[in-house]
Amino acid sequence: MTVASIKSSADQRMQKSIETLKSNLAKVRTGRAHVGILDQVTVDYYGSPTQISQVANLTLIDARTIGVQPWEKKMLAVIEKAIRDSDLGLNPATHGDMIRVPTPPLTEERRKEMVKLVKNEGEDAKIAVRNIRRDANEALKKLLKDKEISEDDDRRAQDDVQKLTDKFVAEVDKLLAEKEKEVLTV
């Protein structure tokens, strides 16, 4: 283990934390429809649980409606039931060979709940980034203890890890502010 590899590893792991946060924030529903909210819904497709996007074409019909067009006609009822049974609070309706999924407008109370959820996701991401910083600092202290680096190198490397941490915490704050604004916009 070298100082450079410790910093590189910390950087990569913090980047993964940001990617996870982005993915989690994409699942938080705003007033507008987007096909990403159906990502977590799975259907039974020939005996195996499969994401809806793997068995149907997902499109936005308008700002508040998602269109789901199964590739096989017999999947219509299965997909509709899966969406209805999911905990998303959506009520799909079949029109011919397409399922229309209207997203209900959010109430003010529901928007505030969503903001709390967004803040919790952000706090989890910050905790993950800080844990990565702790791991990197422990690895640096081990190098110092084993006399592989000097105290000056250790101090410089810890400062670099802190700057990296600050950069990623700022990125989390920026993502949270954007999502919060998006959720509160009527």
pLDDT tens readout for residues 71-113 = 888 888 888 888 888 877 788 888 888 899 888 777 788 788 8
- Which one of 102, 130, 158 terminates a domain? 102
**Tally of domains within the chain:** 2
Task: Give me the CATH number covering residue 47.
Answer: 3.30.1360.40
Q: Which residues pair with 98 in a beta bridge?
A: 95
Q: Could you read off the pLDDT of 4-48 as tens digits, one per residue? A: 899 999 999 999 999 998 888 877 766 677 777 787 788 888 888
One domain, residues 8 and 23: yes
* CB 90 within 8 Å of CB 83: yes
- The pLDDT, as a whole number, for residue 31 is 65
One domain, residues 115 and 179: yes
Q: How far is CA 183 from CA 118, 156, 176, 178, in A?
A: 9, 41, 10, 9
Q: Which domain holds residue 41?
A: 35-102
Q: Who's near 54: CB < 8 A, 6+ residues apart? A: 45
One domain, residues 95 and 53: yes
One domain, residues 62 and 128: no
One domain, residues 174 and 126: yes
Element (DSSP H or E) covering residue 44? strand 42-45
One domain, residues 67 and 156: no
Judge whether residue 150 has pLDDT over 80.
yes
